[in-house]
Structure 1
Amino acid sequence: MFDDVTSVALGSALTGLAARQRAIADNIANVETPGYHATRVSFEDSLRSAVDDGSIASGSVTSVGPTSQKSLEPTRLNGSNVNLDTETLSSVDTNLRYQLTLRAVDHDFSILKTSMRSA
């Protein structure tokens, strides 16, 4: 019932965005930790590929998980490479994307709810 392309893609996007938000929170919490390297989370390219090649639609991929890696950006004197401005902007962007994706999920459920009432 919820294994169509749209539902799986939206669920994967929410999972990826939530993972990114957790990584951003960890980065901000460790902004002054000597030697800490920021974590970056990505999932958009693999999700786009799974949708484009039809692997989500065919059922061979039920979701696309996020991947995380340590940032290779230059470090400050204490060895940390967390940039508070970058993290703050990334947090705002991620929150807005999450809200938009939730609205899309809500819309899908509203359509389902309406169709169930009509039946």
Structure 2
Amino acid sequence: MLESVTATALSSALDGLSLRQRSIAENIANINTPGYHAKRVQFEDALRAAVADGSGSAQASVERSLEPTRLNGNNVNLDTETLSNIDTVLRYQFATQALGAQASAVTKAIGQASA
């Protein structure tokens, strides 16, 4: 497919959202692990800057949560992880639909040009 800033940005967003989904799953899996600190994935600010500079390509970063811990040193909150998971799934669905629509438009344009 022809690369555009939009397609590159959507692809970067999907990568970041996928990494966030994996981090959420890891956080939930370690909800009872003493000393475990939840992971937080950040990419939106980098993506915004990449779109503004015309590249659309951004890397996600994983950071340890600084949220307060329980007595066992763990700071995973199931409510926070559940809400983040729902938000991430919805954003991922939106981005895949947008990327699919763009690919469909390019395919249609190529088909019309060759006819």
TM over 0.5: yes
Contact map agreement 1:23 1:40 (CA 8 A) in 2: yes
Give the deviation of 1:115 after TM superposition: 1.1
Partner in structure 1 of residue 51 of structure 2: 51
Return the letter of the residue paired with 1:77.
L
Q: Unaligned regions of 5+ residues in structure 2, if any? A: none
Partner in structure 2 of residue 60 of structure 1: none
Which one is further off, 108-117 or 17-26? 108-117
Partner in structure 1 of residue 77 of structure 2: 83
Partner in structure 2 of residue 33 of structure 1: 33
Q: Unaligned regions of 5+ residues in structure 1, if any? A: 58-62
Return the letter of the residue paired with 1:46.
A
Matches within 5 A, 1:1-119: 1-54=1-54, 56=55, 63-119=57-113
Q: Could you state the TM-score of these two structures normalised by the residue count of structure 1?
A: 0.91
**In 1, distance between residues paired with 2:71 and 2:2?**
50
Give the deviation of 1:3 after TM superposition: 2.5
Q: How many residues align?
A: 113
Contact map agreement 1:2 1:8 (CA 8 A) in 2: no
Secondary structure at the counterpart of residue 62 of structure 2: strand
Give the deviation of 1:4 after TM superposition: 1.2
**In 1, distance between residues paired with 2:94 and 2:16?**
14
4+ residue segments displaced more than 6 Å:
none
Q: Could you state the TM-score of these two structures normalised by the residue count of structure 2?
A: 0.94
State percent identity of aligned pairs: 58
Give the deviation of 1:2 after TM superposition: 3.3
Return the letter of the residue paired with 1:18.
S
